[in-house]
Amino acid sequence: MRAWLRDTAGGLSATYWYLWTGLLINKVGGFAILFLSLYLTSQRGAGTAQAGLIVGTYGIGGLLGSLTGGVLTDRWGRRRTLLTSHFTTVAALLALAFSSDLVMIAVWCALLGVAQSMASPAFVAAIIDVTPAEKRSRAFNLQFWALNLGLAGASLLAGLLAQWSYVGLFLIDGACTLVTGILIAWKVPETLRTPSSPSRPRAGGLGTVLTDRIFLVFVGLTLLQALIYAQSNTIVPLAMHADGLSPAAYGSVVALGGALIVLGQLFVPRLIDGHRKHRVLALALLVDGVGFGVLAFADHLAWYLLAAAIWTVGSMLAAPPNAEINSELAPLALRGRYQAVFFLTFPAASFLAPSVGGAGLQYLGDAHWVVVGVLGALAAGLHLLAGRPRERRVAAIRDETSAVAEVS
């Protein structure tokens, strides 16, 4: 058991583990946004439409925060961006806890979206900085596991705390964020390297990222993957309701997926080590497609549980190589900006999946899931085609990074 744990940890640095701990604390305590719509309707007198609009400001803030965080991560540094993000988040949560005016709540909600999203590019860029290339697969696998473990903990705690006090949700969330901020201030040094060579090429900006075709193809495939997987929390509950299944049945589907990730994610590196990342991603997308394709035949809970088990395996296989490729395609001086553009795929999928998926389910019925399955197979094929050019780009970036490290 000790040998397995040692292999899983992979000799990762102390700084990585402080960042990992901060991510876990944030996720375990990050339950305020989960119950924001209920808080608005039950405690602040908002109508359903008003609550939806206010919660939507959080998503808009998230888009802005991700881009802002990416730029600041490269200019200010990882540590300073993380500290600004966490302490601003604390202020926004405190303001939300004690605000009653719906307009001000919308303002604070948007600020919360900006502040929380700023941290994502900085967290990932810092992990890349302190983790050698050969250990990043394990590092990102552990990160994905921590995020899901924290989400599972938050889901359990939030339901209990909401019965006690909605205001308490915001205060405890803020306290957890404050603890993470203090941990970063105390234990996490600045990881951004600033090469001093006068001959270092100009880094560029967001324009460089947005004209990088190989990276944008990867981002597009990640968006397709996110759109497929987002069916699980947007369209699947609608399909289950149409089949006469209760919300509790959907809860069991969600619980199964979370349990599989918490119990099985740590074993994934041993399964995929030694295999080309684009082939692992192709297999993962194909498995995802099969999982959702099964729903074309689903009319009982057992079918939905089987489908959830399949698509969860796909997401578990995809997580490490997806994050690793993302880290490898980012040049040293633009890691924050690359992470920012990459992270835009997830709020975009959160918007597109219910919009497009809802129409698909309404007009295509069960054939909607056949389409989703075909998209998974298509994405798998595209990953295989894109794999070789990505590998050549990664090799070039690796050589450039090594050269910069030698002169700095």
What is the tens place of the pLDDT at every residue in 303-330? 999 999 999 999 999 999 998 898 889 8
Tokens 């699947």 sit on residue: 236
Residues 324 and 295 in one domain: yes
Domain contains 160: no
Question: Do 178 and 255 share a domain, yes or no?
Answer: no
Q: C-alpha distances in angstroms, 355 versus 163, 258, 361, 362?
A: 32, 25, 10, 11
Domain assignment present for 145: no
Say what the pLDDT of residue 317 is. 94
| Residues 172 and 273 occupy one common structural domain | no
Within-domain flag for 151 = no
Q: Are 176 and 42 found together in one domain?
A: yes
Choose the final residue of a domain: 123, 152, 187: 187
Q: For residues 60 and 99, state if they share a domain.
A: yes
Please tell me the distance from the alpha carbon of residue 291 to that of residue 229, in angstroms, as a whole number: 10
Q: Give dist(CA 186, CA 4) in Å, integer.
A: 30
CATH number at residue 179: 1.20.1250.20
Contact 184, 22 (CB under 8 A): yes
pLDDT at 367: 93
Q: Six-digit token pair at 22?
A: 């901060």
Domain that holds residue 233: 204-408
Low-confidence residues of the chain: pLDDT under 50: 1, 4-5, 196-202, 407-408
Judge if 183 and 225 occupy the same domain.
no
Residue 8 maps to a domain: no
Its pTM stands at: 0.79
- What's the first-to-final CA gap in the chain, in angstroms? 41
For residue 1, the model assigns a pLDDT of 46
According to DSSP, residue 44 is labeled S
| Residue 406 CB coordination number (10 Å) | 9
Residue 199: what pLDDT?
Answer: 40
Closest CA to 255 of 298, 312, 317: 312
